[in-house]
């Protein structure tokens, strides 16, 4: 089983490409965002640590963490955000490592894809066999984000500023999939690459 990290800037189209991959190939896909929600559930280690840090004010009536209340507690405080990330990121990584070893033992899948915006910054280069950069030109990404998510220019600017620059992605990734043009062109690049391994 080959473990492949999928990363790229916001609006590069990672989700659409992964939807295709998971349909066509014998693979598993792990979305770091989904794992991040899971580790915040009651009973998980990160849950109690977050409640200790941010107080029970962030909880809903059923005891689950209320995303909006948690965001409000973090908003505007770099130090609180840092502490929250120090709880969530290692918990997500541990959970992903657990999945990797489980799927390796099962020996049922050809590929395991891990998708996250912060794979490189999060130190996943030593966990994956290779890292793919999903590239799309900035003008294309902006257009997509406005059309699909109704993001304002200000919001797009803020997100893009917080993410790695293109040359950093290219430096750290062994494969670049260009998703600037039609989806079919990007899918062809994926088929060629995965075809080499099958």
DSSP the chain: -EEEEEE--TTS-HHHHHHHHHHHSSEEEEEHHHHHHHTTSTTSHHHHHHHHHH-GGGB-TTSSBPHHHHHHHHTT-HHHHHHHHHHHHHHHHHHHHHHHHHHHHHT--SEEEEE-TTTTTTTGGGTSSEEEEEE--HHHHHHHHHHHH---HHHHHHHHHHSPPHHHHHHH-SEEEE-SS-HHHHHHHHHHHHHHH-
What is the model's pLDDT at position 45?
A: 84
pLDDT at 71: 92
pLDDT band at 126 (very low <50, low <70, confident <90, very high): very high
Report pLDDT digits (tens) over 170-191.
999 999 999 999 999 999 999 9
pLDDT tens per residue, range 42-66: 999 899 999 999 999 999 999 999 9
- The pTM assigned to this predicted structure is 0.90
């Amino acid at each position: 089983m080959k473990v492949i990290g999928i990363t790229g800037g916001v609006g590069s189209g990672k989700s659409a490409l992964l939807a295709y991959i998971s349909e066509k190939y014998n693979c598993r896909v792990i979305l770091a965002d989904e794992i991040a929600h899971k580790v915040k559930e009651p009973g998980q280690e990160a849950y109690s640590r977050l409640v200790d840090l941010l107080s029970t004010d962030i909880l809903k009536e059923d005891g689950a963490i209320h995303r909006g209340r948690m965001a409000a507690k973090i908003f505007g405080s770099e130090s609180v955000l840092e502490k929250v990330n120090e709880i969530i990121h290692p918990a997500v990584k541990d959970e992903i490592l657990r999945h990797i070893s489980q799927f390796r033992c099962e020996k049922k899948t050809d590929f395991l894809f891990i998708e996250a915006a912060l794979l490189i910054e999060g130190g996943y280069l030593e966990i994956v066999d290779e890292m793919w950069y999903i590239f799309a030109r900035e003008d294309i990404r902006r257009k997509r984000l406005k059309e699909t998510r109704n993001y304002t220019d200000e919001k797009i600017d803020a997100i893009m500023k917080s993410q790695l620059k293109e040359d950093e992605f290219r430096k750290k990734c062994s494969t670049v999939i260009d998703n600037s043009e039609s989806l079919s062109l990007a899918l062809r690049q994926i088929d060629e690459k995965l075809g080499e391994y099958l």
